[in-house]
Homo-oligomer: A and B are copies of this chain.
Amino acid sequence: MAATAAMRGMSAYRTQAAFPPPAVSQKPADRQAWIAAFRQVRDETERRAAPLSPEDQQIQSMADASPTKWHRAHTTWFFEQFLLRAHAPGYAIYDERLHYLFNSYYVAAGPRQPRIMRGLITRPDASEVAAYRAHVDRAVETLLAEATPATLEAVLPILEIGLYHEQQHQELLLTDILHAFAQNPLGPAYDPDWRFPRPEAQAGTVELPGGITRIGHAGEGFAFDNESPRHDVLILPVGLDRALVTNAEWLAFLEDGGYARPELWLSDGWLAAQAEGWEAPGYWRRDDRGGWVSMTLAGIRPVDPALPVTHISYYEADAYARWAGRDLPTEQDWEVAARDGALGDAFGLVWQWTRSAYTAYPGYRPVAGALGEYNGKFMSNQFVLRGSSVATPDGHARVPYRNFFYPHQRWQFTGLRLAQMRG
C-alpha cells in the first residue's frame, strides 16, 4: 500500500518492525511473531509512561481524559478480561477488585468506576500497576507459547484487537498528559527534546474525477469493525490540498477576526467558542510580548508558522474552511485520495477533520458480546478524522482507518486539510 510509505510516527518514539504482526493464522511459526508484537506494544506503553512521576500518572485533568496509570491498567485489564479469563483456564486473576476499577465503558462486562472519578483511585499505585502488567504479560506470553492450535485460533483475534486497543490508549496517554500539564502554570515538559515533525507535502491538489468506487476494509489484515462492510460510494469531482493547513495560515484567519465573526461559525460551534472563551487553537496563549506560544510535549514553545495547526475543534476547522471559501473533504474523498499516496502528510502529523459525521457504513453490524461495544455505540454526534498524528504509534494507522471525536474536542492532535468541489 503506497500510503504506508508516507506514514511517519514521532521519530523519537519509532518502534521496530515487530508490529504489526502477521495476519492472524494458526501456523506454528507465528507464535514467536505474535509474542514479539505483544512485547513491543506492551513495552511501548511503558516507554511512554516512563518520563512520568507517580503524581503525573495519577491525575485526570478533565472528564474526557484519563490518568496514565489508568491507561496502563485498563489495557492490561482488557487482556485479562477478554483473553485470559475466557481462554486461559489455569490463569489466576491478579485481583478481582481491579475489574471494577479498570473497566472503561463495556456495559456488558459489568459495573465500573464512574469515568469522572478515575483520578481518585490512588491505590493500586503506579508500582502495583507495573506488577499487574507483569503478571498479565507473563500469562499472555505463556498462553501464546503453549496454547493448543485450537485455543490459539480463538485467542489471536482477541490478542490482535487488544494490541490495537492498547495503541489507541498509547496515543491518549500522550494527549491526556499534555492536557494535564497544560493545567499547571509552570508548564512542565513531558520531554524537553520532543519536536513536532516538519511537514513534507508539496503545494497543489490531488484531483478526484468522481465516480463510483469502493471504500472500507478490503479484507486483508486487521481492521476495526467500523471500517466494514466495504461498499460502493459515489465520489463527486473534488480537489484535495496536498498540504495541511499551517499555523501561518491559521494566524491569517485569526487576525482577520476569525474567532469574532459569528457568521463564519456553526451555531453550536459559536456557542462552544463563547462558552469556552476560544480565541485561538487549544493551548495557544499570548506571551509577554504579544506573540503566540503554545503548550507542547516539550513545554511552552513559540508557535512555529511552518508547522500544521493542531488542537483545533471541528467547529474551528469548519469556520476556517468557510472563511477560506473552501470545503473540508468527506471521509470518502480523503480515503480515495490517500490510497494512491498522493496526499502529503496524510499520516504522522495531525488527524484531519472531515466533514463526514461518524455513522455506520451501510449494512454495518457490531460484533457480538462486550467487544461489540467497541465502535458502534459511538455513532452519533461525532465527526470522522482520517490519517494519524504525531502521537499515533507506528504501525497503527491505515488508509481506511476511521477516527472520531466530538466536534468541540480539542485535546487531540487534530488539524485539517482543505478541499474544493469541482463543477
List chain A positions with a Cβ less than 8 A from chain B: 53-59, 61, 69, 97, 100-101, 105, 107-108, 113, 117, 119-123, 125-126, 180-181, 183-186, 188, 212, 231-234, 236, 262-263, 265-270, 314-315, 318, 355-357, 359-360, 362-363, 372-373, 377-381, 383, 407, 421
Q: Do A59 and B120 touch (CB < 8 A)?
A: yes
A59-B119, A97-B186, A120-B183 known; A266 vs B233 contact (CB < 8 Å) = no
CB distance from A370 to the nearest CB of B (A): 9
A333's nearest neighbour on chain B, judged by CB, is B362
In the complex, besides A100-B185, A107-B262, A212-B212, 12 extra interface pairs with C-beta distance below 8 angstroms are A55-B55, A55-B123, A58-B58, A59-B120, A97-B185, A101-B186, A120-B184, A122-B181, A236-B363, A265-B377, A266-B379, A267-B377
Expressed in whole angstroms, the Cα–Cα distance for A100 and B185 within the complex equals 8
Expressed in whole angstroms, the Cα–Cα distance for A54 and B314 within the complex equals 38
A377's nearest neighbour on chain B, judged by CB, is B267
From A58, A212, A318, A359, name the one whose CB has the most chain B CB atoms within 10 angstroms.
A58
CB-defined contacts of A380 to chain B, threshold 8 Å: 266, 268-269, 314-315, 318, 383, 407
The residue that A359 contacts in the complex, of B97, B125, B355, B362, with Cβ under 8 A, is B355
CB-defined contacts of A381 to chain B, threshold 8 Å: 268, 381, 407
A370's nearest neighbour on chain B, judged by CB, is B263
Interchain residue pairs with CB less than 8 A apart (24): A53-B122, A53-B123, A54-B54, A55-B58, A56-B125, A58-B58, A97-B185, A100-B185, A101-B185, A101-B186, A107-B263, A113-B185, A117-B183, A120-B184, A122-B181, A232-B234, A233-B234, A236-B363, A265-B377, A267-B377, A267-B378, A268-B380, A355-B359, A381-B381
